[in-house]
């Protein structure tokens, strides 16, 4: 199912659709009646900086454009639908517009990354749907309203079934301005005066059977005055099995080894450090990989690695679901699972970067908190 983006300025559909199997098919995803087009990013703006030479350069974006003919008196400038004639004051206008444009236009790789993330969400939905004979994904499009600090939108897809008590996978593509105190925490945000563009996919799965581990995966592209890829995948079992942990790590290591020889060791260590809970003096789970700030010295290589992580995650996790989903369960098993879910909740609300990024940037609260389990014990 391909979800297309609303053009900016068009009203989004705020309808929730159940996405199920195609009739007669196995594990297919049916396209919902509502066609939703999440904001397709600044990458679709054809923006160019104004030049210092005379002659025309077109700057176009959705709902606003500037057509500069020359800097001489009598030049026509069209912006936000207004016609204006002015003389050398164009120099001032040039400075303001050029700075805003250059600070908010993402790199060429952003459009490709956004398209990949949208497709990855659909691939994940199809793979997880295959485990659920009756339950289907509820897909909820969301779009920020004009005038809000954050612009753009995405889709939240959640399934609650016999195998997955709660599993969600979200896609988003947004842009906006970070609040002043948060800018110093994001590379390049102070230089861009808080302006940013971001797109990605985030997944959290809380299985019903306690012997199937909780898992999390995220891949993303963020751009300020700098641009980078980040992401990773990790495992949080309530009943750890050494062979399951080894399988999960092996699949991720293969993706890392194809990127660079030191990647697995570096990103595994980063994951172990990131998912440590100081207030409990314990790790959230058995780790995985975590990486961030892979900047664009070699954008094709870092983008290829991010795609490899998306593919490796399915190979790492789904065999564990198949292996453990029918294992016998006791009341004690469920209690241990719910205590572990409590630990998971603590980490996400106290330390998780994605949660903080989403809330500080004005994101969709329901989508951000999708990661929380359906129930937990303390």
Describe the chain by its helix, strand, coil percentages, rounded to 5: 35, 25, 40
Q: How far apart are CA 365 and CA 223, in angstroms?
A: 22
- Decide if 41 is inside a domain: no
End residue of a domain, out of 80, 104, 128: 104
Owning domain of residue 51: 46-104
Q: Which two tokens stand for residue 35?
A: 């066609």
Residues 118 and 248 in one domain: yes
Residues 263 and 142 in one domain: yes
Residues 223 and 306 in one domain: yes
Q: pLDDT tens for residues 72-103?
A: 333 333 333 434 444 443 333 333 333 444 34
With contact defined as beta carbons under 8 Å apart, do 135 and 168 qualify? no
With contact defined as beta carbons under 8 Å apart, do 337 and 124 qualify? no
The angle formed by the CA atoms of residues 148, 150 and 153, to the nearest 5 degrees, is: 105
- The answer on pLDDT for 42 being more than 60 is no
Residues 59 and 204 in one domain: no
End residue of a domain, out of 72, 87, 104: 104
Residues 215 and 308 in one domain: yes
- Decide if 4 is inside a domain: no
Residues 228 and 121 in one domain: yes
8-state DSSP, 327: S
216 is catalytic: yes
Residue 321 C-alpha from the chain's centroid: 24
DSSP string computed for 105-167: PPPHHHHHHHHHHHHHHHHHHHHHHTT-SS--EEEEEEEPPTTSSEEEEEEEEEE--SSEEEE
State the total domains in the chain. 2
290 pLDDT band, cuts 50/70/90, is very high
Residues 62 and 164 in one domain: no
With contact defined as beta carbons under 8 Å apart, do 343 and 377 qualify? no
Q: Which residue in 175, 211, 216, 249 is the catalytic one?
A: 216
- Decide if 119 is inside a domain: yes
- Decide if 2 is inside a domain: no
- Decide if 5 is inside a domain: no
Letter string b/e over residues 271-302, b meaning 16 or more CB atoms within 10 A of that residue's CB: bbebbeeeeeeebbbbbbbbbbebebeebeeb
Look up tokens 């909780």; give the residue: 214
- The answer on pLDDT for 305 being more than 50 is yes
With contact defined as beta carbons under 8 Å apart, do 220 and 233 qualify? no
- Decide if 8 is inside a domain: no
Least confident range from 110-114, 147-151, 239-243, 311-315: namely 147-151
With contact defined as beta carbons under 8 Å apart, do 1 and 30 qualify? yes
- Decide if 38 is inside a domain: no
Q: pLDDT tens for residues 196-229?
A: 999 999 999 999 999 999 999 999 999 999 999 9
Residues 90 and 175 in one domain: no
Residues 182 and 204 in one domain: yes
pTM: 0.71
Q: How far apart are CA 228 and CA 206, in angstroms?
A: 29
End residue of a domain, out of 57, 82, 104: 104
Q: Is the dihedral of CA 116, 118, 121, 122 positive or negative?
A: negative
Residues 332 and 345 in one domain: yes
Q: How far apart are CA 257 and CA 236, in angstroms?
A: 23
The contacts of residue 37 (CB under 8 Å, 6+ apart) are 3, 4, 5, 6, 7, 10, 12
Burial status of residue 374 (CB atoms within 10 A of its CB: 0-12, 13-18, 19 or more): exposed
Residues 98 and 219 in one domain: no
- Decide if 377 is inside a domain: no
Residues 219 and 250 in one domain: yes
Q: How far apart are CA 200 and CA 283, in angstroms?
A: 25
Read off the CATH number of the domain in which 325 is found. 3.40.1500.10
If residue 283 lies in a helix (H) or strand (E), which one and from where to where?
strand 282-283
Cβ neighbours, 10 Å, residue 320? 22
Q: Which two tokens stand for residue 216?
A: 């999390």
């Amino acid at each position: 199912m391909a979800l297309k983006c609303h053009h900016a300025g068009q009203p989004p559909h705020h309808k929730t659709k159940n996405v199920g199997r195609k009739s007669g098919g196995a594990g297919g995803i049916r396209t919902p009646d509502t066609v939703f087009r999440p904001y397709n990013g600044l990458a679709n703006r054809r923006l160019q900086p104004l030049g210092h030479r005379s002659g025309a350069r077109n700057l176009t974006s959705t709902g606003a454009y500037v057509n500069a003919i020359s800097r001489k008196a009598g030049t026509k400038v069209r912006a936000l639908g207004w016609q204006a004639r002015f003389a050398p004051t164009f120099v001032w206008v040039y400075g303001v517009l050029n700075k805003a444009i250059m600070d908010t236009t993402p790199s060429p790789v952003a459009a490709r990354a956004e398209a990949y993330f949208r497709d990855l969400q659909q691939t994940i939905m199809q793979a997880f749907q295959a485990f659920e004979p009756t339950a289907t994904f509820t897909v909820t499009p969301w779009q920020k309203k004009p005038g809000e600090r954050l612009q753009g939108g995405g889709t939240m897809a959640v399934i609650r079934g016999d195998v997955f008590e709660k599993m969600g996978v979200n896609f988003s593509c947004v842009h906006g301005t970070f609040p002043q105190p948060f800018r110093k925490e994001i590379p390049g945000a102070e230089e861009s005066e808080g302006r940013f563009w971001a797109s990605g996919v985030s997944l959290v799965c809380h299985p019903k059977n306690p012997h199937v581990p909780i898992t999390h995966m995220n891949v993303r592209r963020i751009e300020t005055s700098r641009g980078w890829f980040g992401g990773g995948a990790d495992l949080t079992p309530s009943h750890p099995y050494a062979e399951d942990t080894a399988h999960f790590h092996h699949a991720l290591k293969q993706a890392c080894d194809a990127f660079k020889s030191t990647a697995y060791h570096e990103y595994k260590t980063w994951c172990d450090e990131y998912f440590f809970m100081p207030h409990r003096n314990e790790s959230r789970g058995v780790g995985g990989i975590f990486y961030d700030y892979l900047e664009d010295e070699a954008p094709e290589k870092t983008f290829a690695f991010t795609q490899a992580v998306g593919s490796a995650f399915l190979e790492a996790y789904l065999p564990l679901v198949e292996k453990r989903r029918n294992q016998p369960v006791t009341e004690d098993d469920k209690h241990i699972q719910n205590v572990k879910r409590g630990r998971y909740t603590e980490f996400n609300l106290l330390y998780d970067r994605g949660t903080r990024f989403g809330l500080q940037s004005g994101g969709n609260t329901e989508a951000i908190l999708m990661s929380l389990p359906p129930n937990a014990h303390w």
